[in-house]
Amino acid sequence: MSHEDTTLAPDARARALLAAVKSRHDLKRLGAWVDVYGDDALRLALVAVAAKGGVELPPDEALTWPGKKLLRRAAAREVEAQVRTTPIRIDEAFTCVSCHKEVPAHGRTARDHCPFCLRSQHVDDKVPGDRASKCGGKMDPYEIHVRGSGIDIRFRCTRCRAEKVNQAVLDGDVPDSWDALVALSAGTLG
């Protein structure tokens, strides 16, 4: 493993170490390795690499943290996104990026698209609700698919072309507009 290669610069070893953290199990195993072999140079390199990825850690504390904590904090974004496989339910009010109407929280389930115009925003990366995408583009619905338990809406980002699937919201105080769903299925959604 290249993080163990002491002929490499601390920077390169820190990057290799963070890249190797792909699960909670890795976090534990590699954290224990840092406890034993992680010298100050490697620990500070981890702080520097994390800072480049937008994660600010206090350097003096990072020198004394348990290896597992240091790795978890340094790899915060990647680890959360990689380890989670189930959607993170976020139900919050928002202003639609497309029609600019105020969309109330649903109350029971996550709402990730506008019930009026069916547009969404590209805020999630690997897992629904992770809010890890920096894109922020408007996502247009392009297809609906009726399943036994509900209706899936397929979206494509107008900025980066990423795709996602959300369930139509058919209950609650402000369900998805039935007219908009019908128009989408007919290919006439304005």
Number of continuous H segments (helices) and E segments (strands) in the chain: 7, 6
- The number of angstroms, rounded, from the C-alpha of 46 to the middle of its chain's C-alpha atoms is 22
Least distance (Å) between residue 105 CB and Zn ion: 15
List residues near Zn ion by CB under 5 A.
96, 98-99, 114, 116-117, 119, 122, 135, 137, 157, 159-160, 162
Give 79 or 123: the residue with its C-beta nearer to Zn ion.
Answer: 123
Least distance (Å) between residue 162 CB and Zn ion: 5
Least distance (Å) between residue 120 CB and Zn ion: 9
Give 148 or 190: the residue with its C-beta nearer to Zn ion.
Answer: 190
C-alpha to C-alpha distance for 180 and 140, rounded to whole angstroms: 12
Tell me the Ramachandran region of residue 129: left when phi exceeds 0, alpha when psi lies from -120 to 50, beta otherwise. left
Least distance (Å) between residue 114 CB and Zn ion: 3
CB 176 within 8 A of CB 164: no
Give 99 or 170: the residue with its C-beta nearer to Zn ion.
Answer: 99
